[in-house]
């Protein structure tokens, strides 16, 4: 059964810090920090077992905010974990989709719908652009695009297959990466 949310007035100081750090994170759930999503990373920072520089989607501004919240020295985010990019969303190229459902299993936020042997679709408002579905697709029919309404010039970011996020497996480890 899902736990009920705890009102902030009833939270302990460590729980409040976790909550605050989690709210500062982009909620992309990409795993580039080496944790299985934003909240586990927030918990590790609150415990003091992870530094504030591990989130590429948050960029340098995010790292500064995390440093301020934890009282640690500010530093740029760790570029070896991936590059900060403009927001992107995934799109399934319909003609090539074989309906294998692997992307559904890879998506950490349930943003893909579709049944076995049927074309799959990304629900754009739910997609965080984490890229985890891209390496999961056996026929490379998922591309990343700027969100609808975004007028920036852009071409499909199919190079994601070489990006750090796409090198993560769909089941990013819940323990810090080396
Ligand atoms: S790297 Fe990805 S999963 Fe980790 S805190 Fe940042 S957005 Fe969340
Ligand atoms: S659809 Fe793909 S890019 Fe979007 S959240 Fe799901 S796994 Fe990430
Ligand atoms: S992983 Fe690729 S081929 Fe399989 S259902 Fe998803 S989009 Fe279609």
Q: What's the CATH number where 144 sits?
A: 3.30.70.20
**31 C-alpha to center of ligand 2: Å?**
12
CA–CA separation, 132 vs 155, rounded Å? 19
Ligand 1 mutation target, pool 26, 31, 78, 87, most atoms within 8 A of CB: 26
Q: How many CB atoms sit inside 10 A of residue 121's CB? A: 14
Residues 32 and 96 in one domain: no
From the CA of 157, the nearest ligand is 2
Does residue 13 or residue 113 have the better pLDDT? Answer: 113
Residue 144 pLDDT > 90:
yes
For residue range 49-95, what is the model confidence (pLDDT) as tens digits? 999 999 999 999 999 999 999 999 999 999 999 999 988 999 999 99
- Which of the listed residues 81, 104, 136 is the one where a domain comes to its end? 81
pTM here is: 0.78
Residue 174 located in a structural domain:
no
CA–CA separation, 55 vs 22, rounded Å? 12
What would the mean pLDDT of 129-137 be, rounded to a whole number?
Answer: 97
Residue nearest to atom 5 of ligand 1 (CA): 38
3-state secondary structure 24-50: HCCCCCCCCCCCCCHHHHHHHHHHCCC
In total, how many domains does the chain have? 2
What's the confidence (pLDDT) of residue 174? 37
For the Cβ of 129 lying below 6 angstroms from any atom of ligand 1, the answer is no
Does residue 37 or residue 11 have the better pLDDT? Answer: 37
Cα distances (Å, whole numbers) of residue 175 to 88, 102, 133 = 27, 24, 21
- Which of the listed residues 58, 81, 104 is the one where a domain comes to its end? 81
Residues of the domain holding 142: 89-167
């Amino acid at each position: 059964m899902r736990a009920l949310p705890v009102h902030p007035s009833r939270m302990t100081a460590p729980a409040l810090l976790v909550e605050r750090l989690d709210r500062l994170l982009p909620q992309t759930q990409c795993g580039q920090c080496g944790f299985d999503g934003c909240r586990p990373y927030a918990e590790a920072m609150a415990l003091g077992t992870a530094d504030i520089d591990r989130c590429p989607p948050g960029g340098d501004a995010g790292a500064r905010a995390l440093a301020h919240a934890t009282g640690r020295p500010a530093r740029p985010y760790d570029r070896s974990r991936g590059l900060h990019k403009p927001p992107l969303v995934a799109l399934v190229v319909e003609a090539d989709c074989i309906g294998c459902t692997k992307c559904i299993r890879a998506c950490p936020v349930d943003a893909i719908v579709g049944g076995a042997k049927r074309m799959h679709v990304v629900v754009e408002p739910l997609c965080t652009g984490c890229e985890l579905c891209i390496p999961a697709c056996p026929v490379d029919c998922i591309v990343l695009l700027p969100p609808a309404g975004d007028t920036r010039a852009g071409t499909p970011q199919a190079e994601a297959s070489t990006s750090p996020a796409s090198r993560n497996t769909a089941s990013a480890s819940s323990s810090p990466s080396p």
